Chains A and B, each alone.
Chain A
Amino acid sequence: MAETITPVKEAAVENIRLRHHFATPAQQMDAATLGMWTFLITEVLFFGGMFASYAVYRNLYLGAFASTSEYMNVVLGGTNTAVLICSSLTMVLAVRAAQLSNRRHTMLFLVLTMIFGTAFLVIKGVEYHAKWVEHLVPGFNFHYPIPQFQQHAQILFFLYFMMTGMHALHMIVGLGLLTYLLVQAYRRVFNANYFAPVEMIGLYWHFVDIVWIFLFPLLYLIGHRK
Chain B
Amino acid sequence: MSAGLLHVHIPKVRTLVLVWLALICLTGLTTGASYVDLGWMNIVVALLIAVSKASLVAWIFMGVRNTTTLTKLFVVAGLVWLGIMILITFSDYSSRTWTYQAQPWATNPAGGTSR
Report which A residues bind B (CB closer than 8 A): 3-6, 11, 23-27, 29-30, 33-34, 37-38, 40-41, 44-45, 48-49, 51-52, 55-56, 59-60, 69, 74, 78, 81-82, 85-86, 88-89, 91-93, 96, 99-100, 192-193, 202-203, 206-207, 209-210, 213-214, 216-218, 221, 224-226
Report whether over half of chain B's contact residues are helix, strand or loop; otherwise say mixed: helix
Q: What number of B residues sit within 8 Å (CB to CB) of A? A: 54
Report the nearest B residue to A215, measured CB to CB.
B50
CA distance in complex: A59, B97 (Å): 13
- The reply to whether A33 and B50 contact each other, CB–CB distance below 8 Å, is no
User: When A26-B6, A93-B16, A206-B62 are in contact, do A34 and B47 touch as well, CB less than 8 Å?
Assistant: no
How long is the Cα–Cα vector from A27 to B23 in the complex, in angstroms?
34
Contact between A33 and B89, CB atoms less than 8 A apart: no
Q: Which residues of B contact A217 (CB under 8 A)?
A: 30, 34, 46-47, 49-50
Residues of A within 8 A of B19 (CB): 89
Asked if A55 and B57 make an inter-chain contact with CB atoms under 8 angstroms apart, the answer reads: no
Bound CA span A217–B49, Å:
9
Cβ 8 A contact of B4, one of A26, A33, A192, A214: A26
- CB 8 Å contact bits of B60-76 with A (1 = contact, 0 = none): 11100001101100110
The residue that A74 contacts in the complex, of B23, B31, B46, with Cβ under 8 A, is B31
| Chain B residues near A93 (CB-CB < 8 A) | 13, 16
CA–CA, A76 and B67, complex, Å: 35
Q: Identify which of A3, A6, A82, A207 contacts B27 (C-beta below 8 A).
A: A82
Question: Nearest B residue to A23 by beta-carbon distance?
Answer: B4
Q: How far is the CA of A44 from the CA of B7 in the complex (A)?
A: 27
Structural contact, A48 and B61, CB atoms closer than 8 A? no
Q: Which of B3, B13, B57, B86 contacts A210 (CB 8 A)?
A: B57
Residue contact A59 to B11, C-beta cutoff 8 Å: no
Give Cα A190 to B33, complex, Å. Answer: 44
> Are the C-beta atoms of B82 and A45 separated by less than 8 Å?
yes
CB distance from B54 to the nearest CB of A (A): 5
